[in-house]
Chain A
Amino acid sequence: MKDITKLIRRFMGILLLSTVLVIVLNIIILAVISASQTANGRPWTTAKETAEALQETETGYVLTGDMSDTLSRENAWAIYIDNDTLEVQWHTENLPDTIPMQYTISDIASLTRGYIDGYPTYTGESEDGLVVVGYPKDRYWKHMSPSWDYDFIKNAPYTVLIVIGVNIFLIFLIYMIANSKLLKSVKPITNGIQALPSGEPVYVREKGLLADLAAKINQTSDVLQRQKRNLQRKETARANWISGVSHDIRTPLSMVMGYAGQIEDDESLPEGTRKNARIIRQQSTKMKNLINDLNLASKLEYNMQPINPKPVNLVAIARQSVVDFINLGMEEKYPIEWNTDEALTTCVINGDKELLKRAIGNLITNSQTHNPDGCTISVCVEKRDTEYRIIVEDNGVGVTDEKLEELRTTPHYMMSDSGTIEPRHGLGLLIVGQIVSAHKGAVSFAHGKQGGFAVTLAFPIIDIDDKQQR
């Protein structure tokens, strides 16, 4: 399950990235907030500045500079406690009534850490006393016992890191637990979806989070199976129909051919009659070939033609096809050349001898059919790096570029679903293509070297061990 692993890895990546981003974001937000805090607060500084700004003059203490404005803007009050008398020597106008005017040392200690009567207070040292600035009660919250273990502060950075680490780990853990269930139910679903295109029946257990999805996959598989069965049934019916028709037509055609052949051979009959009989015989032979071709083509198309693969020698097969053609006695009009290198004696593939012979025979016949005025046909077998090639070529009329393109790209009318009934070419080349592809080979069409038509059948070279060959 490569895809699932990939999915998990991607999820993890996203999670990790988002965690880091969130932490960074938090730090930034924290920094911004603290910065703004410092900017508008700074009560300790204010207290210190107030202490510095407080000057003793002949008329008493005076707050110089803008400090009184600053204080009143903050709604804060201030007092000055003398070091010796511990009495309030000076205070701002807005001092609340409840603030005492006399302090003990313990009062001082308390107000330094915390509050006077609920007002948060901050102290600043001046020459002979202490300036205390008090803020409105709801302005600041003071931490009264701010002391930590030294080690705690020393180890704080590590502690923070460990905490962050543990947090991340926890998040992962929660994520994994939460998702493992989902992933567990996703896996059979993805398996099911991946198995669907193979055409085999697929069943996914309808359980877990994605039971609905599983049910849909099962339904899809059922639909596909049903369609496949229907299609197969139709194709079988069609192939059977063609096979039945061709069977039934054989006996009547035998009679036509038989009697025509007899009339043709009867020397006591007039020449004209015998010639007519020959034409009948030739045409019925054509019909016979057509029926055979149609039957074979439909069987190959619907995979109903059993292929009996055995180690076969392509050179022997090609040679046999050529000799069969020569033995028909048409060599005068269609001289045939065997151009295989004599050193090449065996090209073994796993194949069906009869079908392969049929393919080569069809190509030779094709050259003959398209060149009624005769042509030289050349057959050769070649061994290339990864494939064996059988090349059947003629020097006849050849084909136009358009026709070549059509042969390469247009499906045969028998296999075409475009509804056209215009026959493009005979079944011969179609069967060649079917036979070659049943042997995992490839057919290519080209112009011949001498202007005619050339067909190359290429078969991949396979390893067949020597024992089988012998």
Chain B
Amino acid sequence: MDYDYLKYKKILIVDDEADLLEMVISILKQDGFNAMKTAGTVSEALQICKEWKPDIAILDVMLPDGDGFSLFERMRTFTEVPVLFLTARGENEDRLTGLGLGADDYMVKPFLPKELSLRIGIILRRYYKGESPIVQLAGSQIDFDRAEVIKGEEHFPLTAKEHDILSALYRNAGRIVTIDQLCEAAWGDNPYGYENSLMAHIRRIREKIETNPSKPVSLITVKGLGYKLVLAGK
């Protein structure tokens, strides 16, 4: 993990399968996390939540004394802790129920250890971005908290739309983000017909972050598909 400060976050894992709990702990330990507690039931989980105050909770949906969805709702009455559902129920309705309740992510078993730790990392970064570092690019740095780009001695403020677009790209750094996803990030649902505006914004972002905006190295175009943000040293 790149973000050492996140490794001290407290993780609560709720599942009724002891073997699975053990495995998740070993996965997360391998990934550098240290503070972890497990619970096998709803009541146990609630108690740990109240006393230990975890920074993130991983919940199974089927528990012996209730279901994860109602556990989540009860947790929400006293804590805003981010929640990831990890469950064997892969139906779309379940997924939508989970996300609809306000869960931060939903993963279906079976899963790859890497995917789990990546997703936990994403949630933690998003939640605790107050502590997020300044993003290093090849020719500049982005300070998302202050919404500005630092290039050499100069500071360029980011507009709200530019900030939205860059955040979306940063959340998926190193991966292509489609034109449609970026439009959605900047203009909301059903964003049709904003392709040209998006291109204009991308151009202005490049002027701020790239050393040579006509030969971009950090914000790469993938023709017809989308854009990719390349972090420094990657």
Residues of B within 8 A of A261 (CB): 27, 112-114
Q: Decide if A48 is an interface residue (CB 8 Å cutoff).
A: no
- When distances are taken between beta carbons in the complex, the residues of chain B under 8 Å from A284 are 110
| A258 near B27: Cβ-Cβ < 8 Å | yes
Measured between beta carbons, the chain A residues less than 8 angstroms from B26 are: 262
How far, in Å, is B62 (CB) from chain A's closest CB?
A: 9
Could you tell me if A327 and B93 are in contact, using CB atoms closer than 8 angstroms? no
Which among B19, B30, B88, B222 has the greatest number of chain A C-beta atoms within 10 A?
B88
Contact with A along B186-202 (1 / 0, CB 8 A): 00001011010000000
The residues of A that contact B89 with a CB separation of less than 8 Å are 247
Residues of B within 8 A of A255 (CB): 19-20, 23
Q: Can you name 11 extra interface pairs (CB under 8 A) apart from A251-B88, A258-B27?
A: A247-B88, A257-B111, A258-B24, A295-B90, A308-B92, A313-B180, A319-B178, A323-B177, A323-B178, A346-B193, A469-B192
Q: Quick one: which of A257, A308, A323, A340 has the most chain B CB within 10 A?
A: A323
Given contacts A323-B226, A346-B193, contact A254 B20 (CB under 8 A): yes
Interface flags, A315-339, vs B, CB<8A=1, else 0: 1100110110011000000000010
Whether B23 lies near A345 (C-beta < 8 A) is no
Q: How far is the CA of A214 from the CA of B8 in the complex (A)?
A: 78
Q: In whole angstroms, what is the CA distance A342 to B196 when docked? A: 11
- Contact status of A256 and B110, CB under 8 A, knowing A251-B88, A316-B180: yes
Do the beta carbons of B110 and A262 come within 8 Å of each other? no
A251 and B92 within 8 A (CB) = no
A470 touches B225 (CB 8 A): no
A265-B30, A320-B180, A346-B193 known; A258 vs B113 contact (CB < 8 Å):
yes
Chain B residues 96-111 with CB under 8 Å of chain A are 108-111
State whether the Cβ of A354 lies closer than 8 Å to any Cβ in chain B.
Answer: yes
Would you call A250 and B110 a contact (CB within 8 A)?
yes
Q: How long is the Cα–Cα vector from A306 to B95 in the complex, in angstroms?
A: 13
A248 and chain B: residue at smallest CB distance: B88
Give the size range of B's interface with the partner.
35 or more
A-contacting residues, B19-34, CB 8 Å: 19-20, 23-24, 26-27, 30
Given A323-B176, A323-B178, residue A258 in contact with residue B111 (CB < 8 A) = yes
List chain A residues, Cβ under 8 A from B92: 305-306, 308, 354
Docked complex Cα distance between A255 and B86 (Å): 13
- Is the pair A338, B225 in contact by a Cβ cutoff of 8 Å? yes
Residues of B near A251 (CB, < 8 A) are 17, 20, 88, 109-110
Is B179 an interface residue, CB under 8 A from the partner?
yes
Task: Flag if B114 contacts A470 (CB, 8 Å).
Answer: no
- Interface: B175 (CB within 8 A): yes
Residues of B within 8 A of A (CB): 17, 19-20, 23-24, 26-27, 30, 88-93, 108-114, 172, 175-181, 190, 192-193, 195, 222-226
- Nearest B residue to A340, CB-CB: B224
B192→A257 contact, CB < 8 A: no
Contact of A254 among B109, B192, B226 (CB under 8 A): B109
The answer to whether B113 and A470 have CB atoms under 8 Å apart is no
The residues of B that contact A469 with a CB separation of less than 8 Å are 190, 192
Q: Assess whether A265 is in contact with B113, with CB atoms less than 8 Å apart.
A: yes
A contact residues, total (Cβ < 8 Å): 46
**A-B complex: 7 closest residue pairs judged by Cβ atoms:** A316-B180, A250-B88, A253-B110, A250-B109, A254-B110, A261-B113, A338-B224
**Smallest beta-carbon distance A6→chain B, Å:** 49
Docked Cα-Cα span, A315 to B181, in Å, equals 12
In the complex, the answer to whether A319 meets B20 with C-beta atoms within 8 Å is no
Note all chain B residues with C-beta closer than 8 A to A447: none
Are A319 and B180 in contact, CB atoms less than 8 angstroms apart? yes
A434 to B13, CA, bound (A): 37
**Which of A254, A313, A322 touches B225 (beta carbons < 8 Å)?**
A322
The docked-state distance in angstroms from the alpha carbon of A315 to that of B192 is 11
Which A residues from 262 to 291 make CB contacts under 8 A with B? Answer: 262, 265-266, 281, 284-285, 288
A202 close to B (CB within 8 Å)? no
Bound: A373/B89 CA distance, A: 35
Distance in angstroms between the alpha carbons of A292 and B24 in the assembled complex:
22
Bound CA–CA A323/B41 (angstroms):
40
Give the distance to chain A from B221, nearest Cβ to Cβ, in Å: 12
With a CB–CB cut-off of 8 A, which chain B residues contact A201? none
Instruction: Choose one: B113, B177, B180; the contact of A262 (CB below 8 Å).
Output: B113
Interchain CB contact under 8 A, B110 and A345? no
Q: Give B100 Cβ to nearest chain A Cβ, in Å.
A: 12
**Closest residue on chain B to residue A312 by CB atoms:** B190
CB-CB under 8 A from B114, the residues of chain A are 261, 265
Cβ–Cβ contact B178 & A345, under 8 A: no
Other-chain residue from B27, B30, B112 in contact with A285 (beta carbon distance below 8 A): B112
Q: Are B190 and A253 in contact (CB under 8 A)?
A: no
Partner of A257, one of B88, B90, B112: B112
**Closest B residue by C-beta to A253:** B110
B27: which A residues are within 8 A, CB to CB? 258, 261-262
- Asked if A311 is at the interface (CB within 8 A of a chain B CB), the reply is yes
CA distance A257 to B19 in the complex (A): 13
Contact of B181 among A266, A281, A320 (CB under 8 A): A320
Whether A258 lies near B23 (C-beta < 8 A) is yes
Would you give the shortest CB distance from B36 to chain A, in whole angstroms?
15
Contact (Cβ within 8 A) A257 B110? yes
